[in-house]
Structure 1
Amino acid sequence: MTTRLLVYTRTTDYRHDSIPDAVTAVRTLGDFTVDHTEDPTALEAPLDGYAAVVFLSTSGEVLTPAGRERLAGYVESGGGFAGVHAAACTEYDWPYYGDLLGARFARHPALQPGKALVEYRDHPATRHLPPVWDFTDEWYDFRTNPRDRVHVLATADESSYDGGTMGPDHPLVWCREQGAGRVFYTALGHTSEAYRDADFLAHLRGGINWAARLED
């Protein structure tokens, strides 16, 4: 049976120019078929045929009430969910989504180079990375520190860039379980260049595969 991912990129707020490049990149990441949509009714249909649902730089309120119910039921019953970058800027009016993802976006400084500190190496999303990962991104700050609700994989080194406001403990990448399902989130992925970076693509592949239970 062919493994399928549902990649959702609907935006009702800020829209990232990198979305087309991101979707193209995800199609190359593994032995799975990608169904890409921005139609909210696609989330109202049964999701059981998907190994994971990926919110890829979504923003604003992107689901219908029926879609919210369907997504929650899918994850609670064992489905995989992966959020990339602006997925944390999504569904502010739905409390469950904030719990599912682990944290909500608050602000970001200017796009700039910085350093991510890999905290946990025994995960498919981070095991290939150096202990200190040089990257260029927006270095999202979150409304709350999610550490007590998630398994942190990497943090932002705020001393390596300007404008961070979370302090020395600044989670950036994490995973968690929700019901019987798995959730992975990475705050990275703002630029089109990220989706041509070998380390970032391996990072994304590992996170999605983990959420989809394709790689343990």
Structure 2
Amino acid sequence: MNTLHKAAERGTAIEVRHLLDDGAAVDALDEFRQSALHLAAQASREDSVAVLIEAGAGVELADRFGRRALHTAACHGDLGIAQRLLAAGATPDARDCEGSTPLFWAAGDGHTLLVEVLLEAGADLNARNVYGSTPLNWAARNGYDGVVALLLAAGANVNAQCANGWTPLHEAAMYGREAIVQRLLRAGADATLKDNRGFTAMGRALQQGQRAAVAILAAQAEAGTRQADTV
């Protein structure tokens, strides 16, 4: 870590500017392949991010995990930093080493406004990472109902299955996210879909002892049976 990295992470924007004026290399990388821009974003220092971008910092530089500064801003919910990075040309669908885009991180950490900004910037709401997961899977698993609602309204695939066969409904049910289970069902989630081990969402909820989710899914199945009997 050089002096510019330390200033970007812990100092002021004025210090960052002085170092750049004195000839510091704006895109020098530390031992983790992080630039000063990565570190400023990680520390939520928007003023320093602005100075670094103005000095020509590479917004597409990837650290050792393949993450850009935009991934970090998305994870932390730093709306202002994300907007600056996008305005400077950051790619909304840049992928890290596991194939996850900034939208995964914003959705998975419940940052609704940042999800909106990324979608407006053209982020693929049905992107899949190396595990076949989507941003909707992450939001459903982690219990962020507002993000789930936003992604569904934008057209997210409610029945997208990961490589292991889990749908967003599987993940919401097994983690006891009852409100999200209900929302996904209203959006057309198929509760009969099975994962690679033959479990439906209700089966996974039973396995995890999520009684409230089981009750919701059982009621939905019963209502479907009654409707079929009247046809």
TM-score, normalised on structure 1? 0.35
Question: In proportion to residue count, which structure has more helix?
Answer: 2
Higher Cα Rg, which structure: 2
Question: In proportion to residue count, which structure has more strand?
Answer: 1
